Amino acid sequence: MIRLAIQSKGRLNEDSLRLLQDTGILVDDAKRKFLGKAANFPLEVLYLRDDDIPGVVADGAADIGIVGLNETAETGAPVRILRRLGFGRCRLSLAIPKSVVYPGRSWFEGRSIATSYPRILKKFLDENGIQAVIREIRGSVEIAPAAGIADAIFDIVSSGGTLVSNGLREVESVFVSEAVLIGRENLSPEKQALLSSLLFRVDAVQESRGKKYILMNLPTPQISKVLELLPAMRSPTIMPLAAEGWSSVHTVVEEATLWDTVEKLKEIGAEGLLILNLDIVVA
Ligand code: PRP
Ligand code: ZN
């Protein structure tokens, strides 16, 4: 049995559960539950506050966890970063009231900054030789300047909406974060084997994200052009069609450039394109 800690509610909860679901592991997303058990994999899920996850993994109360890199860095817990997961992207930034003219980092000298991330902030201030007062508060950091608690804030920025609605402006982006899979040191051989099996599935899920499967018919003389256009995973699958002089081409393309690719394929004579969702890629 291996025990995974994930966020019980908040920005990473849904994506963490979706990742588990995509790896074929069935867990109940009972939000009020503290400990759940997967139906078809020897895995327990511990639902926690994100801030507590790195420490719980370091202590061994959980073996692995899904949490923001920001929380991991802030706690300084001795855990291994096993994988970057590509969701929960955000940054930790310094923000000041939008009416203030910002001359550069020296502005923070002697000022007070409210944050829930004192450790990461202190490192930044030290590295830049800035003396400032850090006021640690646990939540609602964004109201601190208006409430007269601090001159500036250091907090998570994702869409930037919270800053805008509080009359604040991001002036320094200090730390870039995303969700990571963390693990403790010294797992037993049994747990290590379960972790390897889980990582194998996670890698396959990650590999398939942002990709589509594409099928098309193409005049056979154009095949060399399609090979230039689609430097896919390996080479595409090419099969002759019953119609003389035509071939069927199957391959995987990046979703981000899908429509550019489709246009170019049309230009070289591709017809009857089918674009399908891709569930899993096992490399
Ligand atoms: C963070 C942060 C802001 C907000 C920023 O809080 O404290 O309130 O997200 O996001 P935005 O730029 O998209 O508006 P979060 O909801 O993650 O809660 P937590 O920090 O208390 O865990
Ligand atoms: Zn939190």
Q: Which domains does the chain have, with CATH numbers?
A: 2-88+178-207 (3.40.190.10), 90-177 (3.40.190.10), 210-277 (3.30.70.120)
Give the pLDDT confidence score for residue 31 in this predicted structure.
Answer: 61
Three-class secondary structure of residue 122 per DSSP: helix
pTM confidence score: 0.88
Whether pLDDT at 232 is above 70:
no
**Which run of H or E residues covers position 81?**
strand 80-84
98 and 169 in contact (C-beta within 8 Å)? yes
Q: How would residue 231 be classed by pLDDT, with cut points 50, 70 and 90?
A: low
Which residue is closest in CA terms to ligand 1's atom 6? 156
Contact assessment for residue 150 and residue 135, using Cβ atoms and an 8 Å cutoff: yes
Confidence (pLDDT) at 167: 97
Going by alpha carbons, the residue nearest to atom 7 of ligand 1 is: 156
Using DSSP bridges, classify how beta strands 112-115 and 64-68 pair: parallel, antiparallel or unpaired.
Answer: unpaired
Cα torsion 270, 274, 280, 282 to 10°: value is -30
Give the separation between CA 227 and CA 240, rounded to whole angstroms.
16
Distance 127 CA to ligand 2 centre (A): 25
Which residue is closest in CA terms to ligand 1's atom 1? 156
pLDDT-based confidence at residue 30 (cuts at 50, 70, 90): low
Asked if residue 139 has its Cβ within 6 Å of ligand 1, the reply is yes
Is any ligand 1 atom within 6 A of the Cβ of residue 138? no
161 lines ligand 1 (CB under 6 A): yes
74 lines ligand 1 (CB under 6 A): no
Q: What is the pLDDT of residue 14?
A: 93
Long-range CB pairs of 170-174, under 8 A, 24+ apart, other chains included:
170/93, 170/94, 170/95, 171/93, 171/94, 171/95, 171/96, 171/102, 171/107, 172/93, 172/94, 172/105, 172/124, 173/91, 173/92, 173/93, 174/91, 174/92, 174/93, 174/94, 174/120, 174/121, 174/124
pLDDT at 29: 67
What is the average pLDDT across 176-183? 98
Specify which residues 94 forms β-bridges with.
154, 172
Proportion of the chain above pLDDT 90, given as a percent: 82
Higher pLDDT: 157 or 254? It is 157
Which range (29-43, 127-141, 158-172) has the least confidence? 29-43
Query: How far apart, in whole angstroms, are the C-alpha atoms of residue 125 and residue 201?
Result: 40
- State residue 133 phi and psi, 5-degree precision: -95, 125
Q: Is the pLDDT of residue 237 over 90?
A: no
Worst-scoring range by mean pLDDT, 3-7, 78-82, 251-255? 251-255
Quickly state the pLDDT bin for 227 (edges 50, 70, 90).
Answer: confident
pLDDT tens readout for residues 5-27: 999 988 899 999 999 999 999 98
**What pLDDT, on the 0 to 100 scale, is given for residue 279?**
85
Ligand 1 centroid, distance to 9 Cα (angstroms): 13
Eight-state DSSP code of residue 24: T
How much is the average pLDDT of 149-158? 97
CB 269 within 8 A of CB 221: no
